């Protein structure tokens, strides 16, 4: 989240899209209630009327997988309304704090001109040759002046400026087109536009709350790009009650991504080292952004400090200037190669990956095309499953329809302690690192994850020291001194980092150096465990300067305890808050100091922009935020494509689906004539993810005893299905049997007169535990987002019939 | 002592059913086993209140002028002031707690089931066989369950404690009535013209107050609920008559009580349903 849970209470309008907070974030929903009772509006955009919709002022139905068309339509509304009612928008914010006025390479062409593609595409329309499914992004660039600074037209009139290019791009997304793609009734859509666009007024704030309904698409990353564009045009970034807020589905999923859960990053979102990086300098040259704009702070110029300190934390004394601080100890995955979830299971299927440690994860239920993934586990030599319960993944060898004697994989099950049975920190969606204490002993031989990792690493070090082996130094030189059993505070202190000269804990990442005199396990968390102690353990409810619910002494928040990131954009050029009612920061001219939240930027924060201070969006090289985002793989503007499996043709261009999405199994694509019904998956409040933590609890099983599929009365009538019937749902990958919940909360989508049905399936179940049932992910495809490779769980094709 | 109440706000409730689970967890009404259920085409389960399930959330889909709404409401004892169950209970097992709500002493319950007939909300449930007399009545205890008493120990009921969206509140009844009226006025001002505070006046005042965004009937609640006349006759006429006319009733109930008590001691598990 750019903002935080409590801050939702400050919002004037909440757009819940691709998420169902009442269902999946029930405690956090209290903050939505606070906003509503202050007079704020709640808009719920969802394929079916959900628990969140039941509390919403406006419910807008939208066919799964058409988020970009919907949000692009809203952007189009705002762009037109800016022309008609400029007084309702913060034009200073748009021209000064975004790249709206930046001039783009005249060679750049967009989908309006190129049939749905951007300039630089190697292939033709609907290209199937995977080698040609890529872009050369040379034209996705700015025009530079003689000093190498991007040219600007702050009046936003130049035909090549971003703002004018946007008008051309988004004009195609009319309310009629939105209806034709999303199936949202035009009047409802316009109601959404009017209500949300009202937050564009200076002093008003709207927030976007999203979750996996946004991300799990072949266009998932561009969905969020669309929110970014909308939020920037409405001046909603950096302000209280605004922002783009990912509601995390697990209590520590924010923490896990911060610590390099994903294959393409190192802790603190530093880029992973690749095969092309022949030296630390190469790596830094590839990743450290540069700017010639004197007003840009370009925070990531500090890359060398962060990576060097990380290497010092990892390799200690063994990391020296002479050996590039141990740079070569680290593995260097092949550049451009994908090592994400789908790719790993494809590699298992191909027999390339021989062993798997599955730590608190249950892909036999949660993985896409889950039967394919269960079969992939059969190819392994060994599998270690670490969990609170035996999971479907741990039990794959004895699942229904298999003969255990035919499966050679050796399976180890390590019983783990639950979060209440161990001490440590959890980082929530708000980026708050909150320290927790052990409050109960665990059962039997269960141990905490850190204990297991520590034992494993100590043993590996012993073996590599004794016997050697490939890349032995990477193990033997590793600094590993946490005790046995390990002390979690030692780990937390190492993450914060220390000055190796003085031996003192670092106060913040501003003190980090690239010369090997500081060590830090994760630059984002620098400041969390200082000489003053463990900041995450703080439980002080002293309000912030402006009393807007920041609670700066409650726990600790990355970066640098900043509760709202990009907060420099919450003030005008003179440092005066746009929103007088909820100021985040404010320039105090008398003391020449910033008041309020921890200012974005170096200590002290410099002066306001009008007095020569740096621009607000310090994490981009431009210093402003990007309406035009050349960093994206599939286009600098969000463009609507159909999901990989779709019952209709793309109504906005002839390019049917995302032109660069990686297709693993073209033969497993379901056709609309055999599978005419759109399907999506979701969760219910009563169950948790792949289900082991809840399907073993009798009260929760009593309330939600088995998986169901929700469908409209119209579809049920067509198929002769009655409420409560058992039905078979089938896709090109497999079939499942579930109970039909026939409901008026699901309606067929009327898209310019064309009717499409959609059903929604719960995905919590599997074959292990107190409550068992079919796994919805047996139906989902092995296809992922063009930028992130997150699987497309949320829009695929099925057919249904009575069982 | 000031009367206490629970305020349930249907406009805030998201039907997460934390209350439903917390009720069982705290009161041990089902000994941790849960009820065996199947999905019957609904988010709702179990299907009805039972000796094990004292509180359940109900889901209602309403469609008006092409607009769907999904209404959630709480189903549990309403803790009436004019309480039919208290009136008809021949053994005084069901009584008004000094804090106003309706508590019961299971040891005194004869399992006659009259309270069921007398309840305008169809809440109490019996274990066992009503005729043999070995049954026991169960319902929401307002968290005064023996040995698990929260309220007498100054704590809010378990359902209130757990409610994530703050749809439940516990406190002095008069303060909660005032708060409820305020919220209803806000709902009405925001276009919910039928918003209503249920329990303010009903049955001389309930100790579970409902802030409703729609009319009570839309949530399946009775309009102007009354204790059934037959129950009132029982209390005002038949019972005194019985006392005057002889000891037969007393002997019968006494036997009932002893048999029930014996049965409980033999099984060692109060209220365990016989399969």
Average the pLDDT over A158-182 and give the result.
Answer: 98
pLDDT of residue B274: 37
Closest alpha carbon within chain B to A21: B14
- Reference A302, options A149, A559, A519, A511; nearest CA is A511
From CA A195, how far away is CA A60, in angstroms rounded?
12
pLDDT in tens, A608-618: 999 999 999 99
Q: Judge whether residue B202 has pLDDT over 90.
A: yes
Chain B, 249 to 268: residues with Cβ < 8 Å from chain A are none
Q: Do B17 and A742 touch (CB under 8 A)?
A: no
Instruction: Establish, for the pair of chains A and B, how many residue pairs have beta carbons separated by less than 8 Å.
Output: 102
Measured between alpha carbons, how far is A444 from A414 in angstroms, rounded to an integer? 11
d(CA A93, CA A627): 12
Would you say A64 and A218 are in contact if contact means Cβ atoms under 8 Å apart? no
Judged by CB atoms closer than 8 Å, whether chains meet at A51 and B70 is answered as: yes
Which residues are CB-contacts of B273 (< 8 A; sequence separation ≥ 6)? B51, B52, B127, B128
Q: Which residues contact A510 (CB under 8 A, 6 or more apart)?
A: A602, A603
Please give, rounded to a whole number of angstroms, the shortest distance from the CA of B126 to a CA of chain A: 20
Contact B41 A701 (CB under 8 A): no
- The interface residues of chain B toward chain A in range 176-205, judged by CB-CB distance below 8 A, are 186
Who contacts A192 (Cβ-Cβ below 8 Å, separation ≥6)? Answer: A15, A43, A45, A58, A60, A74, A184
- From A119-123, A471-475, B103-107, B259-263, the region with the lowest mean pLDDT: B259-263
Is B63 in Cβ contact with A703 (below 8 Å)? no
Q: Closest partner residue to A706 among B32, B38, B68, by Cβ?
A: B38
- Cβ distance A699 to B61 less than 8 Å, yes or no, reads no
Residue carrying the six token digits 């092409």 = B66
* Cα dihedral sign, A651-A652-A654-A656: negative
**Domain A6-249, CATH:** 3.40.228.10
pTM (two decimals): 0.95
Ramachandran region, residue A283 (left: φ > 0; alpha: ψ -120 to 50; beta: rest)? alpha
Q: Which residues of A410-443 are buried (b: 16+ CB within 10 A; e: fewer)?
A: ebebbbbbebebbbbbbbbbbbbbbbeeeeeebe
Q: Quick check: helix, strand or coil at residue A370?
A: helix
Closest residue, chain B, to A706 (C-alpha) = B39
Cross-chain residue pair B17–A29, CB shorter than 8 Å: no
Six token digits for residue A219: 């266009």
Sort out which chain A residues have CB atoms less than 8 A from B66's CB and list them: none
Q: Which among A26, A699, A702 is the nearest to B165, CB-wise?
A: A26
Closest chain A C-alpha to B109 CA, distance in angstroms: 27
CA B174, B176, B182 angle in degrees (round to 5)? 110
Rounded average pLDDT over B145-149: 95
- The DSSP call for residue A715 is H
CATH number of A666-802: 2.40.40.20
What pLDDT shows up at residue B127? 85
Scanning the structure block, which residue is given the tokens 């290497």?
A311
Q: Are A669 and A795 in contact (CB under 8 A)?
A: no
Residues of A in contact with B70 (CB under 8 A): 49, 51, 53-54, 745
Taking CB atoms and an 8 Å cutoff, what residues of chain B touch A725?
41
Tell me the three state secondary structure of residue A591: coil
pLDDT-based confidence at residue A761 (cuts at 50, 70, 90): very high
- As separate numbers, helices (DSSP H) first and strands (DSSP E) second, chain A gives 20, 27
- B257 pLDDT tier (thresholds 50, 70, 90): low
* Neighboring chain B residues of A705 at a CB cutoff of 8 Å: 37-39, 45
Which chain A residues contact residue B63 at CB under 8 A? 744
The two structure tokens encoding residue A93: 């914010």
Among A317-321, A554-558, B261-265, which stretch is predicted with the lowest mean pLDDT?
B261-265
- Mean of all residue pLDDT scores within chain A: 97
- Which pLDDT score is estimated for B271? 38
A-chain residues within 8 Å CB-CB of B21?
699-700, 703
Among B34, B72, B192, pick the best mutation site for testing chain A contact (most A Cβ within 10 A).
Answer: B34
The predicted model gives A335-343 an average pLDDT of 92
* pLDDT at position B268: 43
List the single residue in B18, B68, B72 with the smallest CB-CB distance to A745: B68
Distance CA A115, CA A371 (A): 37
- Asked if the model's pLDDT at residue A545 lies above 60, the reply is yes
Contact B21 A703 (CB under 8 A): yes
Residue A529 contacts residue A493 (beta carbons within 8 Å): yes
Give the closest residue to A307 by CA, choosing from A342, A370, A265: A265
Partners of A47 on chain B (C-beta within 8 Å) are: none
Tell me the average pLDDT across B139-152.
Answer: 96
Average pLDDT, chain B: 88
What integer pLDDT is reported at residue B267 of this predicted model? 46
Looking from the CA of A200 toward its CB, the CA atoms found within 13 Å total 29
CATH code of domain A341-428+431-451? 3.40.50.740
- Return d(Cα A233, Cα A751) in angstroms, integer: 28
Interchain CB distance below 8 Å, B43 and A741: yes
pLDDT the model gives residue B247 = 59
DSSP assigned state of A666: G
SS3 B142: coil
Model ipTM value = 0.94
- Per-residue pLDDT, averaged over A275-300, amounts to 96
CA-closest candidate to residue A495, choices A451, A562, A435, A416:
A435
Verify whether the Cβ–Cβ distance B45 to A705 is below 8 Å.
Answer: yes
Specify the residue for token string 């800016």. A82
B-chain CB neighbours of A743 within 8 Å are 61
Nearest to B164 among A29, A54, A742 (CB): A29
Structure-block tokens of residue A395: 């039990």
pLDDT of A571 over the 70 cut: yes
Delimit the domains of chain A by residue range: 6-249, 268-330+487-537, 341-428+431-451, 666-802
pLDDT of residue B272: 38
Q: Which residues in A lie closer than 8 A to residue B15 (C-beta atoms)? A: 51, 54, 685
CA A538 from chain center: how many Å?
A: 27
Question: Is the CB of residue B93 less than 8 Å from the CB of residue B106?
Answer: yes
Characterize A525-553 residue by residue with b for buried, 16 or more Cβ atoms within 10 angstroms of its Cβ, and e for exposed. bbbbbbeeebbbbbeeeeebebebbbbbe
Of residues B32 and B173, more confidence is placed in: B173
Q: How far is the alpha carbon of B58 from chain A, nearest alpha carbon, in Å?
A: 12
The pLDDT of residue A251: 85
- Residue B128: the pLDDT is 75
Q: Is the pLDDT of residue A553 over 60?
A: yes
Residue B1 pLDDT? 73
Rounded-to-integer distance, Cα A106 and Cα A111, Å: 15
**Of the partner residues B20, B38, B69, the one whose CB lies closest to the CB of residue A703:** B20
Q: What percent of chain A has pLDDT over 90?
A: 97
Q: What is the pLDDT of residue B269?
A: 41
A-chain residue closest to B66, CA distance: A744
What average pLDDT does range B247-251 have in this prediction?
59
What residues are paired with A14 via a beta bridge? Answer: A42, A207
- Across the range B177-206, mean pLDDT stands at 96
CB contact under 8 A, A698 and B32: yes
Looking at residue A604, what is its pLDDT? 81
More confident residue, B47 or B255: B47
Q: How far is residue A687 from each of residues A358, A737, B20, B167, B203, measured CA to CA in Å? A: 21, 19, 14, 21, 38
Residue B13 CA to its chain's centroid (Å): 18
Over pLDDT 70: what percentage of chain A? 100
CB contact under 8 A, A29 and B165: yes
Cβ contact, residue pair B39, A705, below 8 Å? yes
Could you read off the pLDDT of B29-73 as tens digits, one per residue? 998 899 999 999 999 999 999 999 999 999 999 998 889 999 999
A-chain residues within 8 Å CB-CB of B34? 698-699, 701-702
CA distance A796 to A275: 36
Report all structural domains of chain B as residue ranges with CATH numbers, in order of start.
1-30+46-275 (3.30.70.20)
Q: Are strands A58-61 and A41-46 parallel, antiparallel or unpaired?
A: parallel
**Count of CA atoms in the C-beta half-sphere (13 A) of A468:** 0
Contact assignment for A29 to B71 by CB distance below 8 Å: no
pLDDT tens by residue, A618-655: 999 999 999 999 999 999 999 999 999 999 999 999 99
Say how far apart CA A704 and CA A686 lie, in whole Å.
7
Render A596-652 in DSSP notation, one character per residue. Answer: ESPPSSSTT----GGGTPPPS-TTSSSSSB-SS-TTSSS-SS----B-SS-SS--SS
How close B250 gets to chain A, by Cα (Å)? Answer: 41
pLDDT digits (tens, 9 = 90+) for A22-61: 999 999 899 999 999 999 999 999 999 999 999 999 999 9
Residue A49 has what pLDDT? Answer: 98
Q: How far is A40 from chain B (nearest CA, A)?
A: 11
Among B23, B38, B41, most A C-beta atoms within 10 A, so best to mutate, is B41
pLDDT digits (tens, 9 = 90+) for A397-430: 999 999 999 999 999 999 999 999 999 999 999 9
Residues A231-264: tens digit of each pLDDT? 999 999 999 999 999 999 888 999 999 999 899 9
CB contact under 8 A, B37 and A702: yes
B25 touches chain A (CB under 8 A): yes
Q: What share of chain A is helix, strand, coil (3-state, %, to 5)?
A: 30, 15, 50
Distances (CA, A) of B149 to A295, A433, B75, B155: 65, 36, 21, 9
Contact yes or no for B21 and A699 at CB 8 A: yes
pLDDT value for B235: 65
Please tell me which residue of chain A has the smallest CA distance to B59. Answer: A51
Segment 54-113 of chain B within 8 Å of chain A by CB: 61, 63, 68-72
What pLDDT is stored for residue B275 in this prediction? 35
Residues of A with CB under 8 A from a CB of B: 22-23, 26-27, 29-30, 33, 37, 49, 51-55, 59, 684-686, 698-706, 708, 722-725, 739-745
CA dihedral in degrees (A52, A58, A61, A64; nearest 10)?
-60
Q: Which residues pair with A799 in a beta bridge?
A: A730
Going by pLDDT thresholds of 50, 70 and 90, the confidence category of residue B265 is: very low
Closest residue by Cα to residue B51 from B99, B116, B144, B96: B116
Q: Give the model's confidence band at A753: pLDDT under 50 very low, under 70 low, under 90 confident, else very high.
A: confident
Does the distance separating the beta carbons of A49 and B16 come in below 8 Å?
A: no
CA angle A171, A177, A181 (to 5 degrees): 130
- In this predicted structure, the answer to whether residue B246 has a pLDDT above a threshold of 70 is no
Closest chain B C-alpha to A740 CA, distance in angstroms: 6
In this prediction, residue A538 carries a pLDDT of 98
């Amino acid at each position: 989240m750019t903002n935080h849970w409590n801050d939702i209470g400050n919002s004037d309008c909440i757009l819940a899209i691709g998420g169902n907070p009442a269902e999946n974030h029930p405690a956090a929903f209290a903050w939505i209630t606070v906003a509503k009772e202050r007079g704020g509006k709640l808009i719920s955009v969802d394929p079916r009327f959900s628990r969140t919709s039941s509390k919403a002022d406006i419910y807008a139905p939208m066919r799964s997988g058409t988020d970009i068309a919907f949000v692009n339509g809203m952007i189009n509304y705002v762009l037109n309304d800016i022309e008609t009612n400029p007084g309702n928008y913060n034009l200073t914010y748009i021209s000064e704090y975004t790249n709206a006025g930046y001039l783009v390479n005249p060679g750049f062409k967009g989908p309006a001109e190129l049939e749905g593609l951007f300039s630089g595409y190697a292939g033709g329309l609907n290209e199937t040759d995977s080698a040609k499914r890529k872009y050369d992004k040379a034209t996705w660039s700015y025009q530079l002046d003689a000093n190498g600074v991007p040219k600007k037209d702050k009046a936003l009139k130049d035909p090549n400026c971003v703002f004018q290019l946007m008008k051309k791009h988004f004009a195609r997304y009319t309310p009629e087109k939105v209806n034709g793609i999303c199936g949202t009734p035009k009047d409802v859509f316009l109601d959404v536009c009017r209500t949300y666009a009202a937050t564009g007024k200076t002093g008003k704030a709207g927030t976007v709350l999203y979750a996996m309904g946004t991300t799990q698409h072949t266009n998932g990353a561009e969905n969020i790009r669309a929110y970014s564009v909308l939020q920037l045009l409405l001046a909603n970034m950096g302000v209280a009650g605004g922002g783009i807020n990912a509601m995390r589905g697990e209590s520590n999923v924010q923490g896990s991504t911060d610590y390099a859960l994903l294959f393409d990053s190192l802790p603190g979102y530093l880029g992973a080292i690749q095969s092309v990086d022949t030296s630390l300098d190469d790596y830094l040259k590839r990743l450290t952004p540069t700017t010639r704009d004197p007003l840009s702070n370009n925070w990531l110029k500090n890359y060398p400090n962060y990576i060097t300190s990380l290497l010092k934390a990892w390799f200690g004394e063994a990391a020296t200037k002479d050996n590039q601080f141990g740079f070569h100890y680290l593995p260097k995955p092949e550049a451009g190669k994908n090592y994400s979830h789908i790719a790993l299971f494809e590699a298992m299927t191909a027999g390339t990956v021989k062993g798997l440690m599955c730590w608190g994860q249950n892909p036999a239920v949660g993985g896409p095309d889950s039967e394919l993934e269960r079969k992939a586990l059969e190819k392994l030599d060994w599998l270690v499953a670490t969990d609170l319960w035996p999971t479907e993944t741990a039990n794959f060898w004895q699942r229904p329809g298999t003969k255990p004697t035919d499966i050679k994989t050796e399976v180890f099950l390590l019983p783990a302690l639950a979060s209440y049975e161990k001490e440590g920190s959890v980082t929530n969606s708000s980026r708050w690192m909150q320290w927790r204490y052990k409050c109960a002993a665990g059962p039997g031989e269960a141990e905490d994850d850190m204990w297991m990792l520590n034992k494993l690493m100590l043993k590996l070090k012993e073996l590599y020291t004794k016997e050697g082996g490939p890349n032995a130094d990477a193990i033997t030189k590793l600094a590993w001194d946490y005790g046995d059993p390990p002390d979690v505070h030692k780990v937390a202190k190492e993450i914060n980092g220390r000055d190796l000269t003085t031996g003192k804990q670092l106060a913040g990442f501003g003190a980090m150096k690239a010369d090997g005199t500081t060590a830090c396990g994760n630059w984002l968390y620098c400041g969390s465990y200082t000489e003053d102690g463990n900041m995450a353990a703080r439980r002080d409810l002293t309000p912030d300067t402006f009393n807007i619910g920041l609670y700066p002494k409650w726990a600790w928040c990355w970066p640098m305890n900043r509760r709202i990131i990009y907060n420099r954009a919450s003030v005008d050029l003179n440092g005066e808050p746009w929103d007088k009612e909820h100021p985040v920061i404010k320039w105090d001219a008398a003391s020449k100091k910033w008041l309020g939240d921890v200012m974005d930027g170096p200590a002290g924060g410099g002066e306001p922009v009008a007095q020569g201070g740096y621009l607000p969006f310090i994490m981009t090289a431009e210093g402003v935020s990007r309406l035009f985002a050349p960093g994206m793989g599939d286009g600098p503007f969000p463009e609507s494509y159909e999901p990989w499996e779709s019952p209709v043709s793309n109504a906005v261009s002839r390019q049917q689906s995302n032109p660069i999405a990686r297709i693993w199994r073209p033969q497993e694509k379901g056709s609309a004539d055999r599978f005419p019904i759109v399907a999506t998956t979701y969760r219910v409040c009563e169950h948790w993810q792949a289900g082991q933590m809840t399907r073993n609890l009798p009260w929760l099983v009593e309330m939600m005893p088995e998986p169901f599929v929700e469908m409209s009365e119209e579809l049920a009538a067509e198929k002769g299905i009655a409420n409560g019937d058992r039905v078979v749902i089938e896709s090109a990958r497999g079939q499942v049997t579930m109970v039909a919940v026939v409901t008026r909360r699901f309606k067929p989508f009327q898209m310019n007169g064309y009717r499409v049905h959609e059903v929604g399936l719960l995905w919590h179940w599997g074959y292990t535990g107190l409550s068992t049932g079919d796994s919805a992910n047996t139906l989902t495809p092995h296809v992922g987002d063009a930028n992130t490779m997150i699987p497309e769980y949320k829009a695929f094709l099925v057919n249904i019939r009575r069982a | 002592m000031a009367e206490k109440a629970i305020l349930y706000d249907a406009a805030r409730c998201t039907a997460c059913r934390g209350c439903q689970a917390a009720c069982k967890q705290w009161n041990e009404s089902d000994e941790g086993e849960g009820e065996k259920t199947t999905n019957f085409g609904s988010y709702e389960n179990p299907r009805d209140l039972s000796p094990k399930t004292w509180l359940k959330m109900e889901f209602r889909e309403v469609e008006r002028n092409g607009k769907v709404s999904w209404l959630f409401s709480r189903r549990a004892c309403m803790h009436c002031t004019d309480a039919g169950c208290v009136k008809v209970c021949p053994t005084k097992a069901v009584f008004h707690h000094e804090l106003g709500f309706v508590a019961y002493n299971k040891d005194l319950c004869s399992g006659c089931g009259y309270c069921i007939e007398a309840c305008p909300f169809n809440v109490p449930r019996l274990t066992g066989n009503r005729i043999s007399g070995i049954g026991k009545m169960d319902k929401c205890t307002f968290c005064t369950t023996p040995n698990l008493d929260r309220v007498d120990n100054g704590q809010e009921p378990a359902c209130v404690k757990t409610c994530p969206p703050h749809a439940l509140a516990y406190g002095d009844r008069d303060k909660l009535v005032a708060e409820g009226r305020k919220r209803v006025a806000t709902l009405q001002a925001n276009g919910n013209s039928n918003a209503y505070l249920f329990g303010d006046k009903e049955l001389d005042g309930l100790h579970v107050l409902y802030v409703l965004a729609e009319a009570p009937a839309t949530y399946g609640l009775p309009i102007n609920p009354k204790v059934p006349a037959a129950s009132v006759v029982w209390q005002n006429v038949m019972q005194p008559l019985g006392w005057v006319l002889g000891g037969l009733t007393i002997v019968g109930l006494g036997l009932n009580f002893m048999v029930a008590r014996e049965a409980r001691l033999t099984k060692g598990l109060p209220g365990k349903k016989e399969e």
